[in-house]
């Protein structure tokens, strides 16, 4: 997808991957304010963006079922954590985030999720219980451990 996008960009072979009209690097704050926030900040009643809501006959009521924007760092942390939960190799996540050190990716960007901790403990419990059951049945039959 990125290769296809690069072909559509002016100076795509040598310039920035995401550029503005002047072929300069795109300002991410402008992207967030002009594109991302209007998509996320919608009215729960009429689904209009906050900027277009002045024409409505009711007060703006934020649709809390939508994702809240917490900035680019949070976006990157969420991306890293979700890729990790999907089983993407650590080095691949590092490459996607363009970190020089794997430790930065794993220690700062990938966050533990409570649900993952519960699943890990359940897996450990199942393994221990299975081993105990196997040992118990071996003793009953008189096999060595």
Is 19 part of any domain? yes
Q: Tens digits of per-residue pLDDT, 88-102?
A: 999 999 999 999 999
Domain around 13: 1-68
Is 92 part of any domain? no
**What whole-number distance in Å separates Cα of residue 93 and Cα of residue 109?**
10
pLDDT at 136 over 80: no
pLDDT, average across residues 29-58: 88
Is 53 part of any domain? yes
Q: Tens digits of per-residue pLDDT, 61-91?
A: 999 888 888 999 999 999 999 999 999 999 9
CA nearest neighbour of 113 among 91, 92, 84:
84
pLDDT at 2 over 80: no
Q: Which residues pair with 43 in a beta bridge?
A: 62
Give residue 93's region: left, alpha or beta (phi > 0; psi -120 to 50). Answer: alpha
Are 91 and 102 a contacting pair, CB within 8 Å?
yes
What is residue 141's predicted lDDT score, i.e. its pLDDT? Answer: 58
What is residue 68's predicted lDDT score, i.e. its pLDDT? Answer: 86
Give the chain's domain count.
1
Are 78 and 72 a contacting pair, CB within 8 Å?
no
């Amino acid at each position: 997808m990125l290769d296809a996008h690069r072909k559509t960009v002016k100076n795509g072979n040598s310039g920035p991957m995401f550029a503005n009209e002047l072929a300069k690097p795109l300002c991410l704050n402008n992207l967030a304010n002009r594109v991302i926030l209007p998509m996320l900040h919608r009215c729960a009643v009429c689904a209009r963006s906050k900027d277009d809501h002045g024409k409505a006959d009711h007060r703006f009521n934020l649709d809390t079922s939508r994702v809240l924007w917490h900035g680019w760092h949070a976006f990157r942390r969420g991306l890293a954590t979700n890729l990790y939960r999907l089983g993407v190799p650590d080095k691949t996540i590092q490459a996607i985030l363009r970190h020089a050190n794997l430790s930065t990716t794993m220690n700062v960007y990938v966050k533990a999720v409570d649900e993952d901790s519960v699943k890990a403990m359940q897996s450990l419990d199942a393994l221990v219980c299975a081993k105990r059951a196997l040992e118990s049945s071996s003793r009953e039959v008189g096999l060595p451990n």
